Structure 1
Amino acid sequence: MSQSAVKRLYLMQVGSMPQYQIPIVCYLLQTEDGKNILIDSGLPEIIPEEASDFQNGQDVIEQLASIGLKPDDIHIVISTHYDLDHAGRHAAFTKAHYVVQRAHHAVAASNPRFAATRPQWDQPMERIRLVDGDTELLPGLELIETSGHVPGHQSVLVRLPQTGTILLPIDAVPFGEGFTRDAQDDGSPDAAAIRASTVKLLDLAEREQIGWVIFGHDEAQWAGLNKLPEYYE
């Protein structure tokens, strides 16, 4: 297996859904050759009225500034999907290339679900890298296609030199209680796809002997994690 190019993982909570006690999060990876890779960008600066359940905290730009990074220092934005709480600040990173599943980008323009964030994710195509399915972005950094929550959703696998392998399911499995082979019926019309992606990630975790899965909306787990400026390496 090739040596990991990733040396550091930062976790950021940038907002919340207070009434549900759900954190809104994003992540920063730093590589051995000095690249800064953002995974999602959190909530928009101004939250639309129809999304009043969300509440901003210290946004991603402020948090990056606290460790000396400006938006122009971000080289890549891994866009897991274009929901409001994951793509709300994409447009701030004007020097970055965006990496998104082709299937997700293809349906986003015609789906009203992503209309509020379109000014953020609808970037010039020369700055968007469309990927098809599971993709090794760098040694030690893999994108895992996990449709269900939305078409073309992607999760992220990170191999760190000391901590080991970490799986970030993002919204494929937002809460730890859902990471199970037991059938879950939440009434979603995409329940079969959600189930298939959950099983895919469970199989991956077993095959790779992944010791740590971080569930981005799991308040109980998130409370015990190191957040920026602390990091995992």
Structure 2
Amino acid sequence: MKTMTYISASPKEVHVLDYGLFKVHANKRVIGICGFLIRSSAGENILIDTGFPRKYAYDIAASSAEDRLGDFGEVLELTERNLPEAQLALAGITATDVDLLIMTHTHIDHVGGIADFPGCPILMSGAERALDRPLYWGSVQPLTWPDREYLLIDADTEIGPGIRIFHVPGHAPGQLAIEVDLPETGTVLITSDAISRPAEIEEKFAGSWNVAQARENGARLMSRATERNAFVIYGHSPEQWPTLRKAPYAYT
């Protein structure tokens, strides 16, 4: 594992951020759209993912039509309270307090607010940053890369004491997962969409951008979780989402 120090102190808490609810047409499952805030013992703030674009908070129907999202599913719940700044406020900080933005990948429900944190460096996979535009949704790619400092990784990387980023392509070319060591909870493994839900393992990651890589890296993450006795937070698990401790509460 590579070591690149972007965060100076060990993590003290993880907040789960509620970016709204989405219904997948194919199997009718209702999934939470999540982000995360990691706070270090030195007061550093790491935001993971940014949810849907801001426009959805003001007009879901028009935004979905513009993005042709109805081909895949339906945004059920997304208001101003589900935007990153409102979720960060629940955790006691503002958008300007974010020291590092981690993009696990650039699909529409993760990348929407990528440009909303001026001056904040963005850590992501070099494979995804090399694309002409963020992935967004299907052939719809309206976003451009914001002018930021990009911290690009292409392998598993420890970015500070107790914070490890796993480079796990499969769901997307630059998919990342994050492992955090907390004082009380112990190790937390945030799989993001590398494993959207436990059933995806049984389904052998059908429909992934690269099925073989998704299966290989999904197995690697679950092996890691077993090895570290980690609490796993999946990317979009309908069963797990209601049980998660969400901001203003935190895992410590």
Q: TM-score, normalised by structure 1?
A: 0.88
Q: CA deviation at 1:108?
A: 4.8
Q: Is the 8 A contact 1:88 1:117 kept in 2?
A: no
Which residue identity lines up with residue 11 of structure 1 in the other structure?
A: V
RMSD over aligned Cα, in angstroms?
2.3
Q: CA deviation at 1:16?
A: 1.4
Q: Give the structure 2 partner of residue 33 of structure 1.
A: 42
SS in 1 for 2:51: coil
Give yes or no for the alignment of 1:166 onto 2:188: yes
- Which ranges of structure 2 fall in alignment gaps of 5 or more residues? 1-7, 57-62
1:73-120 superposed Cα distances (whole Å, 9 cap, x missing partner): 11100110111100111211113110001111112538674854624x
Q: Give the structure 2 partner of residue 123 of structure 1.
A: 146
Give the whole-Å Cα distance in 1 for the aligned partners of 2:208 and 2:17: 29
Match of 1:75 among 99, 104, 128: 99
Q: Is the 8 A contact 1:79 1:87 kept in 2?
A: yes
Q: Give the structure 2 partner of residue 6 of structure 1.
A: 11
Give the whole-Å Cα distance in 2 for the aligned partners of 1:23 and 1:101: 24
Give yes or no for the alignment of 1:54 onto 2:75: yes
Give yes or no for the alignment of 1:222 onto 2:208: no
Give the whole-Å Cα distance in 1 for the aligned partners of 2:136 and 2:189: 30
Q: Give the structure 2 partner of residue 17 of structure 1.
A: 22
Aligned length: 225
Q: Is the 8 A contact 1:216 1:222 kept in 2?
A: no
Residues 197/143 of structure 1: CA separation in 2 closer, same or farther (3 Å cut)? same
Give the whole-Å Cα distance in 2 for the aligned partners of 1:157 and 1:108: 29
Match of 2:228 among 208, 213, 223: 208
SS in 2 for 1:17: strand
SS in 1 for 2:243: coil
Give the whole-Å Cα distance in 2 for the aligned partners of 1:33 and 1:111: 34
Residues 37/173 of structure 1: CA separation in 2 closer, same or farther (3 Å cut)? same
Give yes or no for the alignment of 1:199 onto 2:223: no
Q: Give the structure 1 partner of residue 3 of structure 2.
A: none
Q: Give the structure 1 partner of residue 164 of structure 2.
A: 142
SS in 2 for 1:167: strand
Give the whole-Å Cα distance in 2 for the aligned partners of 1:129 and 1:185: 28
Q: TM-score, normalised by structure 2?
A: 0.81
Residues 42/187 of structure 1: CA separation in 2 closer, same or farther (3 Å cut)? closer
Residues 112/70 of structure 1: CA separation in 2 closer, same or farther (3 Å cut)? closer
Q: Is the 8 A contact 1:183 1:195 kept in 2?
A: no
Give the whole-Å Cα distance in 1 for the aligned partners of 2:84 and 2:191: 20
Give the whole-Å Cα distance in 2 for the aligned partners of 1:112 and 1:89: 12
Q: Is the 8 A contact 1:83 1:117 kept in 2?
A: no
SS in 2 for 1:136: strand
Give the whole-Å Cα distance in 2 for the aligned partners of 1:189 and 1:64: 31
Q: CA deviation at 1:198?
A: 0.7
SS in 2 for 1:46: helix
Q: CA deviation at 1:204?
A: 1.4
- Which ranges of structure 1 fall in alignment gaps of 5 or more residues? none
Give the whole-Å Cα distance in 2 for the aligned partners of 1:185 and 1:129: 28
